[in-house]
Chains A and B, each alone.
Chain A
Amino acid sequence: MLEVRNLKKTFKLSKKQQKISKTKDKIKVAVADVSFQAERGEILGILGANGAGKTTTLRMLASILKPEAGQVLFEGKDIYQDLSAYRKRIGFLTSELKLEEFFTPNYLFDFFAKLYDMSQEETQERKQKLFEKFGIDQFAEVKVADLSTGMKQKVSLVISIVNDPDVIIFDEPTNGLDIITEKIVVDFLLELREQGKCIIISTHIFSLIEKICDRVVMIIDGKAVKEDSLENIMAGQSLEDSFFTIYQEMGGNMNG
């Protein structure tokens, strides 16, 4: 369903960034060569250390960043051939998202539904379903500012899938969640898989991948070094042990 071919992305570093990174290089290679495929009805986990290029890869999948080289193909077509159509069929959630505190979940849902050209009936039906599922219905008219952290995270999640997307791209989906919300999110991702959605998540949490992912792409220093089923990658070990074995084989830096 979604095919990623040899993605590359670099960023120009400002003098301040060069100073912080203690480098004289003006260019930072965030993603050097990443390829993989994600199919319907599966959860693909992108695993890597901080700064490996996971978030940049997901942002290219979400069409926020344009690859310098390589392609993202959706149902066989380059996503930039009809970006609007592609965007209607994806949902993207970043852990950096903070909702506007003034609005209510109800208002935000309706607003995003309009951006997706959804009809009134479609919006109401979808809203009712998702709000009930995540227990937001009782807080639908409460301002985001007055919601608990867990509830805010659930609202963020719901907002990112207003349009019932076929491809769901989540950057660190359980990052900072309380244990109850984390369970709800994990169960929901599994349910979406059952519905035939294509789910791509990035994380550095081994247990999450072990729990929900069907296949794994390991990214080290901007390169996809391994793409296989979870079972094959683990090869009888824990995912953590497998990761560090591969990481060291590929010359990954263990000194942080």
Chain B
Amino acid sequence: MDRIIAVMKKEFFRFFHDKRMLFSSVLLPGVMIYVMYSIIGQAGASQRNVEDDYQTVAYGINVPASLQPAFESMNIQFETDITDIVEMKQKVEDKEVDLILAFSQDFDAQVAVYDSMTATQPAPQVEVFYNSSRTESSKAYAAVTSVLSQYESSMINKFDVNGNTDNKYDLASDKDSTAQLFSMLFPMLLLTFVFSGCMALAPEAIAGEKERGTITTILVTPIRQTELAIGKIVSLSVMSILSAISSFIATVLSLPKLIQGDGVDNISANVYSVTDYLVIFFVLISSVIVIISVISIISAYAKSVKEAGTLVTPLMIIVMLIGLTAMFDGAAKSEIYWYFIPLFNSVQSMLQVFSFDIHIVPVIVTIVSNIVYGGIFAVVLAKMFQSERIMYSK
């Protein structure tokens, strides 16, 4: 046990005293995530926003008198400098004008006599040309088509759907909205963060020692290979967890900024309890043990840190794909056997927590089975430390 602690202490000493490593593996990922998500959210929101006093510039062709007041109230300024539709379209394409509203001639009269039940001719036409690459044009298009739809409804109004504007028809609570978004995104994000943390640490600690020859000096001492493997895996797991926590906190804090102004203002990480976060934390620890032990095995196989990095990359893609399954499933699997599959079980358990549907048995199965897999991988790593072919081949 003393030797395991000595190995762990050595790894911790290096990690906590190497300011560059600490900064790049713990602080930097969190800061980067927070800053990037905030900037992306801000940029997205500013893309979607149009100033309140913006006056839409449009061309109107045969605009009927019945709709003139509505368009005036929408602050649309109709230009009259040209009459050719091709030229008008060019102006919209060139982003000089926002819209073209082209109505059939005598639109009001045609609408008045048109009966959809008996008509043999097409209905009177309204064409609205716009430029979706320009925010102002898109906004104006949405507003005008909304007015036109309301106008059409008012012509033949027989019933309204969700007509009472005072009522809230979407009954999803803040909790449900958060659950939907978090359960879709977070399992993948968290697994990726955890993996990145592990990937930054394990190759250096295992393949690096092998590359430098220091592992030979350690293995000549009375330390058992199992002690070295456990010492490495446990210490690397703790360090990776710190890295993952930093990324997790940054994501939780910056997610509302990322999705701001998208009609999902009711997203808040506060809807989850301390117990929920604790469950996530323990599931993550167990996932880290699996990931770090697998990366350690790959690193022990590699001849250099560089080779270890190359060999670990495909594993990262697999882990991300496992994380992506949360986006398709929607709800966690109920059958217990799914919770014996390493890392997929972590995704399923996180899905349970984020969707407020925690069942204790699958979560315990996840944590325990991941720790057992970690133990098995530690034995494999110890065997690899014993293998002359792996440890001393050139």
Given A12-B389, A64-B392, A84-B214 contact (CB < 8 Å): no
Which of B67-75, B189-197, B218-226, B311-319 lies on the face that meets chain A? Answer: B218-226
CB <8 Å contact, A115 and B13: no
Q: Say which residue of B17, B212, B214, B221 sits within 8 Å of A116 (CB atoms).
A: B221
| CB contact between A114 and one of B3, B224, B389, B392 (< 8 Å): that residue | B3
Measured in the bound complex, the distance between the Cα atoms of B211 and A96 in whole Å is: 10
**Inter-chain contact total with CB atoms closer than 8 Å:** 76
CB-CB under 8 A for A115 and B212, given A65-B392, A87-B222: no
A96 proximity list for chain B (CB < 8 A): 213, 216
CA of A206 to CA of B388 in the docked complex: distance in angstroms? 31
Task: Give chain B nearest CB distance to A148 CB in angstroms.
Answer: 18
In the complex, the answer to whether B222 meets A88 with C-beta atoms within 8 Å is yes
Residues in chain A near residue B142, CB distance under 8 A: none
Contact, CB under 8 Å: A107 / B388: no
> Within the complex, which residue of A64, A99, A117 is in contact with B219, where a contact is CB–CB below 8 Å?
A64
Residue of B10, B13, B216, B388 near A94 (CB, 8 A) is B216
Q: Tell me if B118 is interfacial: C-beta within 8 Å of chain A.
A: no
Task: Give min CB distance, A149 to chain B, whole Å.
Answer: 15
Q: Does A159 contact B (CB under 8 A)?
A: yes
Cα–Cα distance between A56 and B222 once the two chains are bound (Å): 20
Question: Do A100 and B214 touch across chains, with their CB atoms under 8 A apart?
Answer: yes
Is the Cβ of B220 less than 8 Å from the Cβ of A62? yes
B84 within 8 Å of A (CB atoms): no
Find out whether the CB atom of A111 lies under 8 angstroms from the CB atom of B6. yes
Determine the residue in chain A with the shortest Cβ distance to B218: A115
Taking the complex as formed, is B14 at the interface, i.e. its CB lies under 8 A from any CB of chain A?
yes
Q: How large is the interface on A (under 10, 10 to 19, 20 to 34, 35 or more residues)?
A: 20 to 34
Query: How distant is B64 from chain A, measured CB to nearest CB, in Å?
Result: 79
Which of A12, A65, A102, A117 is B222 in contact with, Cβ under 8 Å?
A: A117
User: Nearest Cβ distance between residue A138 and chain B, in whole angstroms?
Assistant: 21
**Contact for A159 among B14, B217, B222, B394, CB less than 8 A:** B217
A227 to chain B, nearest CB (A): 25
- Assess whether A57 is interfacial by the CB under 8 Å rule: no
Q: Are A84 and B220 in contact (CB under 8 A)?
A: no
- B213 contacts A97, C-beta separation under 8 Å: yes
B2 close to A (CB within 8 Å): yes
Query: A12-B389, A116-B222 are contacts. A160–B13 as well, Cβ < 8 Å?
Result: no
Q: What residue in chain A is nearest B228 (Cβ atoms)? A: A115
- The answer to whether A188 has its CB under 8 Å from any CB of chain B is no
Answer yes or no: B18 CB below 8 A from chain A CBs: yes
Contacts of A115 in B (CB 8 A): 3, 6, 218, 221-223
**A193 interface residue, CB < 8 Å from B?**
no
**Are B216 and A64 in contact, CB atoms less than 8 angstroms apart?**
yes
Instruction: State in angstroms the CA–CA spacing of A84 and B14 once bound together.
Output: 27
A80 CB, nearest partner CB in chain B, Å: 13
A90 within 8 A of B: yes
Q: Taking CB as reference atom, which chain B residue is nearest A59?
A: B392
Query: How long is the Cα–Cα vector from A17 to B394 in the complex, in angstroms?
Result: 9
Residues 67-126 (chain A) with a chain B CB within 8 angstroms: 84-85, 87-88, 90, 92, 94, 96-100, 102-103, 107, 111-112, 114-117
18 further interface pairs, Cβ-Cβ under 8 Å (given A64-B219, A66-B388, A98-B214): A64-B216, A64-B220, A64-B388, A64-B392, A87-B220, A87-B222, A92-B217, A92-B220, A96-B216, A100-B214, A102-B18, A103-B10, A103-B14, A111-B9, A111-B10, A112-B217, A112-B221, A160-B217
Where the two chains meet, the residues of B that have a C-beta atom closer than 8 Å to any C-beta of A are 2-3, 6, 9-10, 13-14, 17-18, 209, 212-214, 216-224, 388-389, 392-394
Q: Can you list 27 A-B contacts with CB-CB less than 8 angstroms, sorted by A residue number?
A: A59-B392, A63-B220, A64-B216, A64-B219, A64-B220, A65-B388, A85-B222, A87-B220, A87-B222, A90-B220, A92-B217, A94-B213, A94-B217, A96-B213, A97-B214, A99-B212, A100-B14, A100-B209, A102-B14, A107-B10, A111-B6, A112-B217, A115-B3, A115-B6, A116-B221, A116-B222, A117-B222
Residues of chain A having any CB pair with chain B under 8 Å:
11-12, 14, 17, 59, 62-66, 84-85, 87-88, 90, 92, 94, 96-100, 102-103, 107, 111-112, 114-117, 159-160, 163
Which 3 pairs across A and B sit closest by C-beta, in order of nearness? A114-B6, A115-B221, A98-B212
